């Protein structure tokens, strides 16, 4: 009885709508019709499909099949399971408006909604078989709106056949494959863009940068690039992309192979290899950097990069020696001898002034022969026609030596001179950073912060990042301890490290750890101590110290740093490859967003025995 009453009420409501329409004067019917269309669409939106269908049915036949009405009308009929009516409506629309390519897709959608998948598939195939070049995008868009992504892909591929161009609709397919996470197809489509159009290379790099997230993605791209390099040896663009990929993975050994090949083909006289070697050196892959510089020296003795390659070769070896602990004084003297050979071969000129600077820093910081260092730096400062940047860099080095000698006023005077002579330049920013660090060592944290606040806006990203890190470090460790008592003691330890007084620095850290148990500086103290233990050759002691960080959840900020350093010690110093591989994998699993992820991945793959390009 209740159901009958409800049906009666609904019938009365629809009749009332009918009376309203019938009773509307002729001159106002057009205006009323527009209002009813809007009302019907609103009913569809609210799910009141019976009311919507009734209003749509009162429209003229040609109006019912209009592009702005038919989709909503069909939607209402499908919601009411009136599939035959929906089918008739769409077929009528196809007859009346054959120029509307989306109607064929809509008919397939009716079959799909009714559960007749076979009929839907046949209709979609019919749409593709009748497709014209002008209809490709609107039909693909209609399929995409209905979430028929397989048919969206088929439409674009059919359009490619019609256009007789296998790169047509590339951006649309790339977007589709990105959305559906079809990595292999995405990579193939992306690479196809650059096959005959090297101008697309920046766009393709950007697309790949946004698409590669997991190790398998990098592997898949590398596989395709290697295949393309062999299949299309005349296409330099694939070698360019392979070089880019290997640099993204920090695989500088493989990248060096590609750089050499590209250098020969482009007749760059060693320029491509120099660029790669420089990047490898900045990323502390000294073997690859050294190999690159040696290649340029060997192959291009009369080339434009020979002189700089001779200097950078020794610089790379120097960095390798200084970062191999414990530092061997005999190797330091050997490096000084190599620098002297460069000066003998190339002469003491403004171009070789950096060699004198490098020798000076070795004498001062590694051999504690400060007088020799000062003599060399004064020679650079007084050199006629020497580059102004090189001269001021020598002044910074000289100020550092004054700091070694506990003469901070002499140091800050030189730093300030460089700041004034090189405002808004990397050298000037570096001098200001040194002044900030000097204030930090002295415990004048407010003055240090005033320098650092300016440096946060420096044009050099590296200096800005260093300034930001020190600024945050000071802020974090004076938040609760406003007087900065513990931080003052920690800064003194860091000054000892700068002065290369390692035993005293380790003793200072131990005192700090006993004096301020539970302080926020503890994790930094443990981490610094581990670094110093490594420098002195106490590798097991360093691992034990790092365990104090990795085993304690409250030290989470430095956990990835500690884990990566542990893996490095195991690999480089203790030669425990299996254990190192295990710890690198922990970095990848536990800290996928860490700054160490790329390097950890590279080292893990190398230890795992993955093939390296030769």
CA quadruple 518, 524, 526, 529: dihedral positive or negative?
negative
Span 542-565, average pLDDT: 88
Residue 610, pLDDT > 90, answer: no
Grade residue 9 by pLDDT with cuts at 50, 70 and 90: very low
- Give the per-residue pLDDT at 554: 66
What does the alpha-carbon distance between residue 344 and residue 335 come to, in Å, rounded to a whole number? 14
Grade residue 326 by pLDDT with cuts at 50, 70 and 90: confident
pLDDT tens for each residue of 566-584: 999 999 999 999 999 999 9
Percent of all residues in the chain with a pLDDT value above 90, rounded to a whole number: 63
pLDDT tens for each residue of 219-268: 888 888 988 888 888 888 889 999 999 998 888 999 999 999 999 999 99
Residue 4, pLDDT > 60, answer: no
What is the phi/psi pair of residue 6, to 5°?
-60, -45
Residue 193, pLDDT > 70, answer: yes
Residue 19, pLDDT > 50, answer: no
pLDDT tens for each residue of 28-41: 556 666 677 889 88
pTM tops 0.75 = no
Residue 15, pLDDT > 70, answer: no
Q: What is the CA radius of gyration of the chain?
A: 36
The residue ranking higher by pLDDT, 545 or 478, is 545
pLDDT tens for each residue of 498-515: 999 999 999 999 999 999
What's the DSSP call for residue 26?
G
The residue ranking higher by pLDDT, 181 or 499, is 499
- Give the per-residue pLDDT at 32: 60
The residue ranking higher by pLDDT, 419 or 609, is 419
Grade residue 612 by pLDDT with cuts at 50, 70 and 90: very low
pLDDT tens for each residue of 38-80: 898 898 899 999 988 899 888 888 888 889 888 999 999 999 9
Span 408-436, average pLDDT: 93
CA atoms within 13 A on the CB side of 256: 23
Residue 215, pLDDT > 80, answer: no
Tokens of 441: 């060592």
State the DSSP string of 499-553: TT-HHHHHHHHHHHHHHSTT-TTHHHHHHHHHHHHHHTT-HHHHHHHHHHHHT-G
What does the alpha-carbon distance between residue 340 and residue 531 come to, in Å, rounded to a whole number? 31
Grade residue 555 by pLDDT with cuts at 50, 70 and 90: low
Residue 8, pLDDT > 50, answer: no
Residue 360, pLDDT > 90, answer: yes
Grade residue 343 by pLDDT with cuts at 50, 70 and 90: very high
Polymer length of the chain = 614
Average pLDDT along the chain? 88
- Give the per-residue pLDDT at 324: 85
Burial class (CB in 10 A: 0-12, 13-18, 19+), 391: buried
pLDDT tens for each residue of 469-487: 999 999 988 877 767 899 9
Span 163-186, average pLDDT: 88
What is the phi/psi pair of residue 251, to 5°?
-90, 75
Grade residue 20 by pLDDT with cuts at 50, 70 and 90: very low
- Give the per-residue pLDDT at 358: 95
Grade residue 11 by pLDDT with cuts at 50, 70 and 90: very low
């Amino acid at each position: 009885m209740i159901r009958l009453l409800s049906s009666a009420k609904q019938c009365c409501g629809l009749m009332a709508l009918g009376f309203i329409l019938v009773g509307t004067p002729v001159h106002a019917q057009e205006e009323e019709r527009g209002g009813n269309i809007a009302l019907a669409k609103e009913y569809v939106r609210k799910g009141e499909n019976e009311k919507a269908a009734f209003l749509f049915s009162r429209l003229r036949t040609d109006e019912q099949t209009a592009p702005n009405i038919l989709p909503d009308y069909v939607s209402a009929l499908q919601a009411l399971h009136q599939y035959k009516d929906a089918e008739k409506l769409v077929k009528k629309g196809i007859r009346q408006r054959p120029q509307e390519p989306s109607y064929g897709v809509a008919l397939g959608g009716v079959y799909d909604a009714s559960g007749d998948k076979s009929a839907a598939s046949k209709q979609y195939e019919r749409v593709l078989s009748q497709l014209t070049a002008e209809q490709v995008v609107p039909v693909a868009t209609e399929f995409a709106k209905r979430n028929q992504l397989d048919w969206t892909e088929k439409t674009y591929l059919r359009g490619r056949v019609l256009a007789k161009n296998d790169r047509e609709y590339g951006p649309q397919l790339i977007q589709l494959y990105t959305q559906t996470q079809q990595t292999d197809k995405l990579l193939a489509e992306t690479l196809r863009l650059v096959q005959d159009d090297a101008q697309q290379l920046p766009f393709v790099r950007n697309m790949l940068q946004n698409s590669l997230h997991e190790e398998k993605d990098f592997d898949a791209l590398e596989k395709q690039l290697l295949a393309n390099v062999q299949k299309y040896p005349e296409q330099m663009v694939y070698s360019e992309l392979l070089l880019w990929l290997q640099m993204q993975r920090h695989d500088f050994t493989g990248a060096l192979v590609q750089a050499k090949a590209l250098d020969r083909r482009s007749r760059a006289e060693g320029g491509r290899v120099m660029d790669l070697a420089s990047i490898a050196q900045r990323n502390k892959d000294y073997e690859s950097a050294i190999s690159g510089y040696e290649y340029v020296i060997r192959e291009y003795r009369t080339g434009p990069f020979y002189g700089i390659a001779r200097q950078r070769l020794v610089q790379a070896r120097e960095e390798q020696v200084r970062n191999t602990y414990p530092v061997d004084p005999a190797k330091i003297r050997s490096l000084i001898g190599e620098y002297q050979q460069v000066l003998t071969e190339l002469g003491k000129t403004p171009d070789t002034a950096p060699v004198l600077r490098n020798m000076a820093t070795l004498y001062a910081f590694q051999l504690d022969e400060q007088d020799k260092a000062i003599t060399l730096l004064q020679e650079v400062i007084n050199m006629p026609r020497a580059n102004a940047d090189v001269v001021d860099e020598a002044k910074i080095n000289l100020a550092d030596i004054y700091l070694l000698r506990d003469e901070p006023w002499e140091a800050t005077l030189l730093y300030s001179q460089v700041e004034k002579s090189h405002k808004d330049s990397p050298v000037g920013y570096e001098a200001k950073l040194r002044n900030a660090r000097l204030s930090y060592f002295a415990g004048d944290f407010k003055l240090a912060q005033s320098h650092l606040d300016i440096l946060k806006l420096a044009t050099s990203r590296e200096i800005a990042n260093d300034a930001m890190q020190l600024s945050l470090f000071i802020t974090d460790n004076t938040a609760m301890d406003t007087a900065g008592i513990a931080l003052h003691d920690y800064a003194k330890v860091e000054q000892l490290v700068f002065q290369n007084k390692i035993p005293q620095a380790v003793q200072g850290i131990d005192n700090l750890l006993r004096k301020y148990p539970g302080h926020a500086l503890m994790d930094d103290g443990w981490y610094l101590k581990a670094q110093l233990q490594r420098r002195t050759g106490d590798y097991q002691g360093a691992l034990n110290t790092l365990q104090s960080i990795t085993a304690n959840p409250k030290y989470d900020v430095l956990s990835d740093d500690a884990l990566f350093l542990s893996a490095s010690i195991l690999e480089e110093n203790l030669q425990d490859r299996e254990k190192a591989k295990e710890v690198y994998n922990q970095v990848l699993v536990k800290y996928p967003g860490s700054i160490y992820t790329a390097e950890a991945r590279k080292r893990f793959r190398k230890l795992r025995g993955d093939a390296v390009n030769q």
